[in-house]
Structure 1
């Protein structure tokens, strides 16, 4: 327990956060690229054809992990927003603002791939049902968090608190997205993966395997991208601190051709 508390305090300190996460970036990137390559090859070329949808169902290997990530990342944005708004933690600010553009990207991919999947399945690219509409609102929330911060960028601390307030309010949209297909009439199908073995879940392991691999790959990509963006955020907002100068000097010494 003491180690966990110590690690928490270390990760709450910008210099320690930067130092610790610097060791994670390369492994996370390698894992993300390797799993993505394996998952796409397995899903697109080796997974069996669906008996109803044929090969068109293969878009789920991108669509479903992106949809999961769009919600997962916003939950992180919201929790970081609470920590930013209540305790004014600089690292929480960095995590919140670093996560928002990645979440917006995954949400946009979710909407785009959903439209491409919807046309052959439902006969339309878009229908204003609860799942699609709430996912679109999620994209607007991400844009709102980033837009509010950009509007007050001359005062980063104030900008972060206002962005955090938007992020916190937007958390109410997550259960709406998750349960919209059960609460309202929807053309959208239920969960693609059912841990309880429901009829809507994928049952074939040869289909489920690449889907889970892609889900894991997106997690590693998010961690890599978020941490690298958070580091950049801290270097920018703490540029006048001594630890930033030391970190930049350390990077310069480790570059090829630069002697210590």
Structure 2
């Protein structure tokens, strides 16, 4: 495990620092990610298991759901396993990275990403892997913080190098949805910019994308069809 994937201090501080934020600002948006779940679900970067309580509630209403997760940071992964054990949640956690998922093609009905693409090294490769492991007709659901505009963006630019070192490799200035929208394997169901958070971790974007049933070329290419748009450069 390389140093890039191991952040013991960040893992230890994440839950206590974000305790209030998780239960207030972020909770309704995490809840959005688990609406009407069914089938096999992949948590793409479980962190300390912030989504696990919501997964547990989803299973209570639908016992057919099967949860899987990846988390390459061993310190985050240990905390996620402890949380799953405390909830008695049956989730299979593996240590691989999003750029090389350890699953066959067409493995999942839903892939969920919650505040993970800010730390992924190769975003294009990770999106390609999401496309590969999603079943045709499956959904990619996400909640991510992205680059802001105006003076807030200048603050993000100033803090970005220090923030990346202190916050587990987190990038403050990514425009992640642009990569998602460019993936021609996806059609956009919903895509929404959220004016939540506090600078420098602001704004957020959440959405649901549909995996097209037929793709004739590379998964990253032309833009899919949008049904609910925002500025896709975010």
- Indicate whether the TM-score tops 0.5: no
Higher RCO (Cα < 8 Å, 6 or more apart): 1
TM-score where L is the length of structure 1: 0.25
Q: Which structure shows the higher strand fraction?
A: 2
Give the structure with the higher percent helix: 1
Q: Which has the larger radius of gyration?
A: 1
TM-score (norm 2): 0.27
